[in-house]
Amino acid sequence: MQVTKTAALLIATALFAFSANAQFHVGAKAGVNATKINGKSFKEEFQYNYLVGFFAEIGVSKKFSVNPELLYSQTSSTRDTSFKNVLPGFRKDQTKAKLNYLSIPILANYHLAGPLHIEAGPQFSILTSSDKNLLENGKEAFKKGDFSMIGGVQLKFSKLRVSGRYVIGLSNVSDLPQQERWKNQALQLAVGYALL
């Protein structure tokens, strides 16, 4: 029993020391999401959407931090003329696919010099609601989740954050039986403000 109490005390002390020394910030952000769905059924062009959410910065050292985020973002793309060859039963009245995602990026952030930081890491996304019923029978054409990788830069000025990122989808988001593969892609520009 004494050993358990001592271990608990040591863990609590270590956690307190870490939280006292670590830099920790929480903030809100919003921005522009230029997106497209890669695949032969969709046009090769970016469309502009939005993103909003929250971020945290957990300092690990002077130069390095881990930055988890919670973002609500929108992806859209316009189908091209080959769509009817892939999906003969598609809805003729719906030319766009619009997907709303709740995304969780977990980024490693490294301070280069001055306000300039680089960041990279994985992003896990859950499809929340969308105009995703591209078929006449109402079958959903897209999977419920997506996995991506992110790379980009961030400028940090006191409490202000300005970031530019490239997001490349690694998983196939098509939920159709055909061999068609669709992957999300995005260019993001966002502004954030540290509240704490």
What average pLDDT does this structure show over 107-122?
97
Does residue 139 or residue 122 have the better pLDDT?
A: 122
What pLDDT does 6 receive?
62
What average pLDDT does this structure show over 9-29?
67
Token couple for 138? 């109402």
**pLDDT tens by residue, 162-195:** 999 999 999 998 887 766 788 999 999 999 999 9
Domains, in order of start, for the chain = 23-194 (2.40.160.20)
| Residue 159 banded pLDDT, cuts 50, 70, 90 | very high
Does residue 136 or residue 77 have the better pLDDT?
A: 77
What pLDDT does 57 receive?
96
| Residue 5 banded pLDDT, cuts 50, 70, 90 | low
Q: Point out the least confidently predicted range of 33-37, 84-88, 102-106.
A: 84-88
What pLDDT does 73 receive?
93
Whole-prediction pTM value? 0.79
